[in-house]
Chain A
């Protein structure tokens, strides 16, 4: 097969390449000083998490009964799982709305999403006060079905442990195929048709369940009632939380793809990124439309332009979402990597702000107590994020995650011990199944 022809990049801004499949990173050392630093941070975070097991929550964190939820819940879970909604947003676009170009970047979204969810769940595990009672989750007769918290506490681990894990399973099987012995390959030839059988049914759950729990995260805050500023406290919060998740999912996938392509000097595929940018812009407009209609409906639009602290915060959040929404309507912006990176970063920030503010800054209970995360809380939160980044770097180095050209795919597996040089041979073996 001939590699995809790529024309020379004249301005340094045009995207030309065509991504065809996931290809591991093969250049450069895996362990860089930055990664070592992140590993150290992750280790410190996890050690502190261990300390947390034997120490009560209060002197350790600065949470109190008025601000009962600290940054582990409000940032690591409620904000960062929005960034981890790439598998939901891209998966729905690819499989339900048939945007076929997006299949090639699904793995990037899946791995980052899995890591956001996994680190968020670790954070939750060390945040709850009585984790030993969690076995009730397996006893439906104990469920309080009107609780949004029930939905989240069951669906989030289920989604991460079953559906996301199933979706990233091909990465591991593929690596096993290329590094394992003949016996392993025979086994994989046996199971791979089975996975293709299950896959379309599994992804139904992989989209329905996050649709449920991402909206329930907004539903959680409904019960807080007047404690949350009226600019954010609204009956449409579950919908806005869901749209913000999709928005952040698209935006973070673009951001991540551009960052790793920059870091590992990979070629970019303009069509795929432009498609993502298009969807991101649509999501931003959908979010703003729902929010505007809701504010007018509730008669709170004046609060948005009161120019007090909350109003300014709201306007900042809205402009962070509005800027990429408008900018990405222009084809020239969608095809300029630098602009795409900036705009996706802004959209990420805007979406994260929307998910973070109602749980913390706009959350103002009556009793005069303040909350600012303590040092162990911050270190643990940073540690979880570092853990995710470290795991992502290892994943892209040892598994076929990042999109690349199909012509580079076969030789990319040679560091894993794959002896046969031609791709046709690999296909022939798989075809026998």
Chain B
């Protein structure tokens, strides 16, 4: 007989109503509570103390002064694999490189541009959303930092980051996640600007409040229309907005900045689950419904088991 066609006693019906009602309430009530303060809004607003970097690819001369400055501030060894032990010559962000100047060159035309790569310090970082035990965290000034004592080395941050910034120390037995932390511990806490912006001789990368830098970038675009690609700032809305902003005369995709939507990835990934898992409402509701059905089937199964054992003489197995 199906569960739906089984007759209910009055007491059972009340019990089921209370159980279902309670679990439904526990799932629905918190939903109103989170509507006001969503943890991962689609378009996050920068915190008031958010600092930023503005990198203008048209000013950068590719002198790479920021790279040794970064290595020195972060205590990173030079990546001398390619140069035979002489120069710092990384081929991209890696376990010894938190900051790099890359060159884009069109093989046919003479179009070229430099690009500085480091953590974008997203307003709603995908790595922070994914990090299971909060090892990656967005701290004061909006800097995204890594805590060695909480990381289990699952490398979900590398899968999640749309800019492919976090780098796992594959060759270490005590591997760390290497990523730009905005020089938070080294300099930002002491009211110093990050090592790379301090070292930049041309002002291609400058440090400041995110709002101020955004205004400045838009001012540059307004002052020289059609100089900049799409007349817009990369990072204003990308993936919900980042604290590192880019201006470029060539396509952002050509210099290696991915084409991203304006919604934060954290919002996309958690908009349903944050409702289902709020105060474990969904699982509790599920447990209530399943428990009700299992209990009914179990009781009938037990009666049948005893009858069967009496008839056949064989003990029933669970």
Contacts and interface: CB of A to CB of B under 8 A. Distances in A.
Interface in B303-318: 309, 312-318
B175 A136 contact: no
B130 A423 contact: no
A225 B294 contact: no
B314 A366 contact: no
A95 B294 contact: yes
B131 A149 contact: yes
B299 to A, nearest CB: 9
B258 A133 contact: no
Interface string A141-157: 01111111111010000
Nearest to B3: A98
A1 B268 contact: no
A195 B171 CA distance: 48
A392 interface: no
Interface residues of A, number: 81
A107 B318 CA distance: 9
A55 B170 CA distance: 10
Interface residues of B, number: 74
Nearest to A63: B170
Interface stretch (B185-193, B226-234, B284-292): B284-292
Q: Give chain B's interface secondary structure class.
A: loop
Which of A21, A58, A144, A431 counts the most chain B CB atoms within 10 A? A144
B39 interface: yes
B118 interface: no
A247 interface: no
19 contacts: A1-B313, A21-B316, A22-B317, A56-B171, A57-B170, A136-B150, A142-B150, A149-B132, A149-B156, A153-B132, A208-B286, A220-B156, A222-B265, A223-B268, A223-B269, A225-B162, A367-B92, A423-B313, A423-B314
Q: Which 6 A-B pairs have the closest CB atoms?
A: A129-B153, A58-B170, A130-B153, A68-B158, A222-B269, A150-B132
Interface of A: 1, 20-22, 54-59, 63-66, 68-69, 92, 95-98, 100, 103, 107, 128-131, 133-134, 136-137, 142-151, 153, 170, 174, 195-196, 199-201, 203-205, 207-208, 211-212, 216, 219-220, 222-227, 235, 238, 365-367, 400, 406, 409-410, 423-424, 426-427, 430-431
Interface of B: 1-3, 39-40, 92-95, 126, 128-134, 149-156, 158-160, 162, 164, 166-175, 256, 258-261, 265-266, 268-270, 272-274, 277, 283, 286-287, 290-291, 293-295, 297-298, 301-302, 309, 312-318
